[in-house]
Structure 1
Amino acid sequence: MPSLSSRVGAFTDSVIRRMTRINDSVPGSINLSQGFPDWRPPPAVMDRLAQVAHEGPHQYSTTWGAQNIREAIADKYGPGVGRRVDPDSQICVTCGGTEAMMAAVMTVCDPGDRVIVFSPFYENYGADALLSGARAVFVPLRPPSFTFDPGELERAFAAGARAIIVCNPSNPTGRVLGRDELATIADLARRYDAFVITDEVYEHIVFDDNEHVTMASLPGMAGRTICCNSLSKTYSMTGWRLGFLIGPAEVIEGARKVHDFLTVGAAAPLQEAAVVGLRQGPEYYAWLRDEYTRKRGILCAGLDAAALDYNRPQGTYFVMVDIARLLQDPRFAGMTDLDFCTWMIHEIGVAAVPGSSFFHDPVNNWVRLHFARADEVLAEAGRRLAGLAEYG
């Protein structure tokens, strides 16, 4: 058989989704690895989906998204950027945020171009760069607060970066970047003439006094920011695979061509039903924030009972847990974080993601948990995690 392309040997399958498969092989284990909610989308969306099942549309929509969903996206996101978003030239609907990110990188980067990625990072970003032929340049986020050093970031820009990927709120760290941090990134992007590709899928899941600010709203950033987003997390519909890009018309024109030949278009009936979600009022987003605030408290209480160190997330539904103390226990001698997560599924009955899948450098002492589960499931997971207190 002929050899495969070199690119497929440069990265692994998704470790996040691998942990779900391992978890599913162990009856009764609680999946806190792959972050999908275990409840339905809003009732109004479900009602509309039932209608669409009989009424349609069931054939191709416009490749870059049906007119009504692009108009709903434009109406929702215009206030956040402080100007009108043109649904006819500045939006492309994609098959999930994953495709949105891939299309964005392929649109603005040529093979060999440098793309800055903060580390730790959502695992897709490295693969996106490799698949597009670009070169990922990693800038560390320093734990436990997961902040970046402006000097390190400038050196990465000065080396000739074509773009930077910014996840805000951040998966996996749970950080919400402040206006000053965003301003630093924006200033460097303008100075070194680079694009900013943002992943903003957790925009409505922020806690306490933290505020999500979209990069495109900052002075001078409208013409160089490509926002990648999706409906998955906000409306609890990760399986619908509906995402979108918002950006300058010239960029979106290119991204639409890439998207056309990647997937042709997102599912037409799901687009139609999702319009109802995008038209939700502010009370829905307040409810969502309150729900996840409570769930964060339940999981964090379980981590406290286990005497584990963790970063209390400012946004998203993820918690990074430091397992350095546990790995010092002789019973875990020689274990990697992947080994530990596999052990935890079998012995504790809770699935986590090994943190090494998010870091560019060899980091072995973090795992990621999520709290997009029912309250009683999180409480039970907390009781099981408390059993880790005896180790280390």
Structure 2
Amino acid sequence: MPYLKIPGFRKLPQTGVIYVMQRAAEKGWKAGDPLWSNLGQGAPEAGVLDGAPKRVENLNIPLHLHEYSPTSGQLELRQKVADLYNYRYRQGKSSQYTWENVSISGGGRIALTRIAASMGSINMGHFIPDYTAYEELLGVFKAFVPIPIIQDVTCGYQVSLEHIKQEITGRGLSAVLLSNPCNPTGQVIAGNQLQQLVELGRDYNCSLILDEFYSHYIYTDVNVNSKYPTMISAAKYVEDVNNDPVIIIDGLTKNWRYPGWRISWTVAPKDVIQVVTSAGSFLDGGANNMVQQQALSLLEPEYVIQETKALQACFAKKRDYMLNRLIKMGIKVEKEPQGTFYIWANLSGLPAKIADGFKFLEAGLEEKVITVPGIFFDVNPEKRRTYARFHQYSRISFGPAMDELTRGLDAIERVIKRYK
């Protein structure tokens, strides 16, 4: 294991986004620089969208909120999260979420870290490709063994339920971690398929840890005249909220477009919530108390519906715009994203000198555009595997506002013309 010169400290890898942002900074990038386009950062535009609710611009901070928050979060906010899930996904069901099924934490990584610290000596399945931050998370905690499950273009970046069943039974998986919709491919498990996945976890006693941070960015079956926008969650298919092994993570970062607030939640059986709260007591101590109070109004059903409809209308246009331009440039898109705000781009058809995620990144930086090499999504804890997948791929984000998106695609076009 590589160590630093300072005694006791080991070297740690950077997540893909952190790496590319450092490289961009070395080339002169600064946040807000109108000459640059950041198509690498995993964040949505946080400004005003047509038809969306008014954005929060001021925080009211009563004196008592200068105190520590409870490690599990403010009880009122925990109940508000439970109420939203019951309203949106569990109407008419006898088993309902309560505050005891919710834990608040300071962002998605903290929520995932609490869960990982709570796992026992088990085999945990994870998918490839998937969210870059899973890699170190799955490697730093030694109690469980991460088991990779491959998904690629041959299966449309969606592993069949039968394959997942074989992995659970054959490798003795006690838990499976996945993002849904998937970051970076944008593929979605929904409807009957999601219901059957929940049943699989229940029938084979395997916990499903579902990162649902992009669950409002859905571009399939969108009906603008429907009362409800299309949103997905495994919560819809849970039979007993305290016995079904379904653990859901979400927060304000993506679906509410407030990444800087660093507020997330875990929705799970109350026994799990008690354990992850205990983990939080020594890992992080609890989320920001002042911001939790402000978040209450953002979880009103009417607010969520209005925000999600505006979000989907805006991001669907950006998705189509980026798809059309990339394809015209000769970049392959094997599967159009059904969700998230990313294009999983196959670079193999480009000139050899840029048909690689890192080379594509470096060439783009010369034109002031940032992307993320696909190899970062080959989740490989502690580099146990020597073969790296997806080196000819790049994740390109349509999260920024349209003017920055256009500027970035113009830059990519210049890169490709230069190397042809």
Q: Please, what TM-score do these two structures have when normalized by structure 2?
A: 0.83
User: Which residue number corresponds to residue 23 of structure 2?
Assistant: 22
2:362 is aligned, of 337, 342, 366, to: 342
The answer to whether the aligner puts 1:125 opposite 2:129 as a matched pair is no
- Contact residue 36 and residue 408 of structure 2 kept, 8 A: no
Moved more, 380-389 or 67-76: 380-389
Distance 1:80 1:136 in 2: 33
Shift of 1:229: 0.9
Shift of 1:200: 0.4
Alpha-carbon displacement from aligned partner over 1:133-188 (angstroms, at most 9, x marks no partner)? 22211111122731214443233212111100121111111111132332443343
2:207 is aligned, of 195, 198, 204, to: 195
Aligned residues: 379
Distance 2:126 2:237 in 1: 20
* Mapping 1:163-182, distance limit 5 Å: 163-182=175-194
Q: State the identity as a percent.
A: 21
Distance 1:129 1:304 in 2: 35
1:227 alignment partner, SS class = strand
Q: Please, what TM-score do these two structures have when normalized by structure 1?
A: 0.89
Which residue type is aligned with residue 296 of structure 2?
Answer: V
Change in Cα spacing, 1:295 to 1:288, as seen in structure 2 (3 Å) is: same
User: Which residue number corresponds to residue 207 of structure 1?
Assistant: 219
The answer to whether the aligner puts 1:313 opposite 2:313 as a matched pair is no
User: Which residue number corresponds to residue 382 of structure 2?
Assistant: none
Change in Cα spacing, 1:186 to 1:208, as seen in structure 2 (3 Å) is: closer
2:236 is aligned, of 217, 230, 250, to: 217
- Contact residue 179 and residue 212 of structure 2 kept, 8 A: yes
User: Which residue number corresponds to residue 147 of structure 2?
Assistant: 137
Which residue type is aligned with residue 373 of structure 1?
Answer: P
Distance 2:82 2:190 in 1: 24
| Unaligned ranges ≥5, structure 2 | 29-34, 223-229, 380-387
Shift of 1:207: 0.8
Distance 1:180 1:138 in 2: 24
User: Which residue number corresponds to residue 113 of structure 2?
Assistant: 102
The answer to whether the aligner puts 1:63 opposite 2:71 as a matched pair is yes
The answer to whether the aligner puts 1:261 opposite 2:282 as a matched pair is yes
Alpha-carbon displacement from aligned partner over 1:210-257 (angstroms, at most 9, x marks no partner)? 654322322547421011111111222212111111111111111111
- Contact residue 40 and residue 237 of structure 1 kept, 8 A: no
Alpha-carbon displacement from aligned partner over 1:56-98 (angstroms, at most 9, x marks no partner)? 62211222111221122112111344153111x1110001011
Distance 1:219 1:63 in 2: 26
- Contact residue 45 and residue 274 of structure 1 kept, 8 A: no
User: Which residue number corresponds to residue 51 of structure 1?
Assistant: 60
User: Which residue number corresponds to residue 377 of structure 1?
Assistant: 404
The answer to whether the aligner puts 1:286 opposite 2:313 as a matched pair is no
- Contact residue 302 and residue 379 of structure 1 kept, 8 A: no
Distance 1:381 1:2 in 2: 41
1:31 is aligned, of 24, 31, 38, to: 38
Distance 1:182 1:198 in 2: 11
Root-mean-square deviation over aligned CA pairs: 2.4
* Mapping 1:6-21, distance limit 5 Å: 12-21=13-22
- Contact residue 205 and residue 317 of structure 1 kept, 8 A: yes
| Unaligned ranges ≥5, structure 1 | none
Change in Cα spacing, 1:340 to 1:50, as seen in structure 2 (3 Å) is: same
The answer to whether the aligner puts 1:90 opposite 2:101 as a matched pair is yes
Change in Cα spacing, 1:331 to 1:286, as seen in structure 2 (3 Å) is: closer
Alpha-carbon displacement from aligned partner over 1:304-347 (angstroms, at most 9, x marks no partner)? 33121123211111111110112xx3545xx752233122212x
User: Which residue number corresponds to residue 384 of structure 2?
Assistant: none
Distance 2:330 2:6 in 1: 53
